[in-house]
Amino acid sequence: MSITTLLDIQYPILKGVMAQISTHKLVAAVSEAGGLGILSSINLKPEEIREEIRLTKKLTSKPFGVNLMLHSKDRDQIVKVVIEEGVKIITVSGGSPKVYMAWLKENDIKVLPVIHTVQEAMEMEKIGVDGLIAEGTESGGYIGETTTMTLIPQVTKQVDIPVIAAGGIADGRGLVAAFALGAHGAQMGTRFLACEECPIPQGVKLALVNAKDTATIVTGRKRGAAIRSIKNDMLERYAHLEFAGAPEEELEKLTLGSFERAVVGGDMETGSVMAGQIAGLIEEIKPAKRIIEDIMDEAHGIITQLKI
């Protein structure tokens, strides 16, 4: 089944959840434009998530999703709110939604977990999820080890459910490539950071527009929680200290609160902005609608011209 049919959306484009950034305005703009917006539940109390869902519904009558981060201590309450508010799509990060599957299916909710390996993909298919978001290491935020180019064909070879490719996709060429590798759609995060409706300071959006292909850095690999962000002196210092075996407390002092410092306060020096390697391709801050239309136009143009 196509992802557009499965999720009842117009275009096979998902705006990946972005912690504290994927709020109602951005989510509604993407869904209104025919893609799928996904609300973040990170650091929000269940009642705040309910409010975000209601605010999103005021801006669009089209489908949107909510992301469930399984590390959240409020996860049971979050699932309850999603069900009560009638949201029909949930993406899941940070593990397996196995314990919630019966409850979610009873309520006719489509479940799409984020996976980073073929093994995880096969386990998720077994528990009855509706589709997978297979995320390559190029992506912004918490990352796995395998690249999108290698992960997608290996996952799509092993599972029969729809796979959405994530990581390193920001234009029509990337979308067509994802389909060529067997995916049914693409999830993008970094591209939507430089979006007019994205609630981050303009300076951070401009930093993305100015970013080059080598603009990102991965920190946290040593402690098993690798994160890709836009490089700055603070993160380079972190990486250096991490490599040298500095104690965890010293590392934490540098990054504690750094994401908020950047995405709320616009501090790109001691703050850190998670972003993917595809940041170097972003040249313009555009409304969500134009981002999606441009990607689809380019993708259709490529499909008709491909000669192999």
Ligand X SMILES: Cc1cc2nc3c(=O)[nH]c(=O)nc-3n(C[C@H](O)[C@H](O)[C@H](O)COP(=O)(O)O)c2cc1C
Query: Which of 235, 233, 196, 215 shows the shortest CA–CA distance to 279?
Result: 215
Q: Tell me: does residue 113 bind ligand X (CB under 6 A).
A: no
Q: Tell me: does residue 135 bind ligand X (CB under 6 A).
A: yes
Q: Least distance to ligand X from the beta carbon of 270, Å? A: 17
Q: Count helices and strands (H / E) in the chain.
A: 14, 11
Q: Least distance to ligand X from the beta carbon of 89, Å? A: 14
Quick check: helix, strand or coil at residue 133?
strand
- β-pairing verdict for 163-166 and 110-115: unpaired
Considering only the stretches 1-9, 44-52, 123-131, 166-174, report the one whose residues sit in contact with ligand X under the rule CB under 6 A: 166-174
State which of residues 36, 83, 151, 278 lies at the interface with ligand X (CB under 6 A). Answer: 278
Q: Residue 25 CB: number of other CB atoms within 10 A?
A: 16
Q: Tell me: does residue 52 bind ligand X (CB under 6 A).
A: no
Q: Least distance to ligand X from the beta carbon of 219, Å? A: 14
Nearer to ligand X among residue 207 and residue 243 (C-beta): 207
Joined tokens for residue 111: 């479940």
Residues 134-137: contacts with CB under 8 Å, at least 24 apart = 134/163, 134/164, 134/165, 134/166, 134/183, 135/166, 135/167, 135/187, 136/165, 136/166, 136/167, 136/168, 137/167, 137/228
Nearer to ligand X among residue 137 and residue 156 (C-beta): 137
d(CA 88, CA 108): 7
Q: Least distance to ligand X from the beta carbon of 44, Å? A: 11
Nearer to ligand X among residue 136 and residue 304 (C-beta): 136
State which of residues 19, 101, 122, 218 lies at the interface with ligand X (CB under 6 A). Answer: 19
Considering only the stretches 25-33, 57-65, 182-190, 202-210, report the one whose residues sit in contact with ligand X under the rule CB under 6 A: 182-190
d(CA 249, CA 252): 5
Q: What angle do CA 55, 59, 65 make, to 5 degrees?
A: 70
Considering only the stretches 4-12, 122-130, 161-169, 298-306, report the one whose residues sit in contact with ligand X under the rule CB under 6 A: 161-169
Q: Least distance to ligand X from the beta carbon of 159, Å? A: 18
Shortest Cβ contact with ligand X: which residue?
A: 189
Q: Tell me: does residue 187 bind ligand X (CB under 6 A).
A: yes
Q: What are phi and psi of 245, to 5 degrees?
A: 85, 30
Nearer to ligand X among residue 48 and residue 250 (C-beta): 48
- What part of residues 206-265 is at the interface with ligand X (CB under 6 A)? none
User: How distant is the alpha carbon of residue 263 from its chain centre?
Assistant: 16
- β-pairing verdict for 13-15 and 38-39: unpaired
Q: Tell me: does residue 155 bind ligand X (CB under 6 A).
A: no
Q: Least distance to ligand X from the beta carbon of 245, Å? A: 28
In the complex, the residues that contact ligand X under the rule CB under 6 A are 16-19, 21, 40, 42, 67, 93, 114, 135, 138-141, 166-169, 187-191, 193, 274-276, 278
